[in-house]
Copies of this chain bind each other. A is one copy, B any other.
Amino acid sequence: MPLRSGPLIVPAAVMKRLPMYYRYLHALVEEGVERLSSQELSGRMGISSSQLRQDLNCFGEFGQQGYGYRIADLYQAMCQILGVEKRYKAVLVGVGNLGKALINYEGFRRRGLVVIGLFDSDENIIGQEINGLTVNNIRKLGEFIKQEQVEVGVITTPAKAAQEVADILAAGGVKGIWNFAPQPITASPEIIVENTHIGDGLLNLFYKLKEK
């Protein structure tokens, strides 16, 4: 079950499918499924068996001819590929409903996101305790990041505040920013920014509904 060594060339299209593989494999492990062929596995995911085998081949040889894939092993490998076994210290800025939803979602902790600080600018929210963490005043954000060596910042503020928060995060030295504000944010190129636009899914749905 060897992971390829050396610099990998992973096509962008493959990279985008990795989170899906992670999700399905996790669920299959939970279900206790031991073994699946590329055909059975890809069938559940709605892709071709050819594509599944081709994709996995970027990273190594995880199957066994004549037998298929051991799900537990493949899940392990996928965790390694994605770097999920690593833990990232994170702060979350903007403790509204979306922020609270993310803090409470155990899936994020499982993926390796450890939220150690919550921040907001609203006096009514500052001081609240959520999941064992007290919401701090956003003025303390910059200092906190440096002190605690925070690596990832999650932005769940309203659109207007997003860029300002991103600047504080960047100045504090985070390596990555996960942004939920609809406005895209800019940061220096060495900081990795991942934008999640929840509303996009709705437009996809509407477009498909209209097509019919």
Which residues of A approach B to under 8 Å, CB–CB?
Answer: 15-16, 18-20, 22-23, 27, 81-84, 86, 88, 96-98, 100-102, 104-105, 107-108, 111-113, 151-152, 175-176, 178, 182-183, 192, 194-210, 212
Q: Across the interface, which residues of B come within 8 angstroms of A182, CB to CB?
A: 23, 27, 107
In the assembled complex, 27 residue pairs joining A and B whose CB atoms fall closer than 8 Å, in A order, are A15-B207, A19-B200, A19-B204, A20-B197, A23-B200, A27-B182, A81-B207, A82-B206, A82-B207, A86-B206, A86-B210, A88-B206, A97-B97, A97-B98, A97-B101, A97-B104, A98-B105, A100-B101, A105-B198, A113-B202, A152-B205, A176-B205, A176-B208, A178-B201, A178-B205, A192-B209, A196-B198
Please give the count of copies of this chain that the complex contains.
2
A19 vs B200: C-alpha distance when bound (angstroms): 5
Top 8 nearest A-B pairs (CB, nearest first) are A83-B210, A97-B101, A19-B200, A98-B101, A196-B201, A194-B205, A19-B203, A97-B100
A207 vs B175: C-alpha distance when bound (angstroms): 12
- A interface SS class: helix
Q: Across the interface, which residues of B come within 8 angstroms of A198, CB to CB?
A: 102, 105, 196, 198
Contact of A111 among B16, B18, B27, B199 (CB under 8 A): B199
A209 vs B105: C-alpha distance when bound (angstroms): 22
Q: Are A101 and B96 interface neighbours, CB within 8 A?
A: yes
Task: List the B residue with the shortest CB-CB distance to A198.
Answer: B196
Task: List the B residue with the shortest CB-CB distance to A45.
Answer: B184
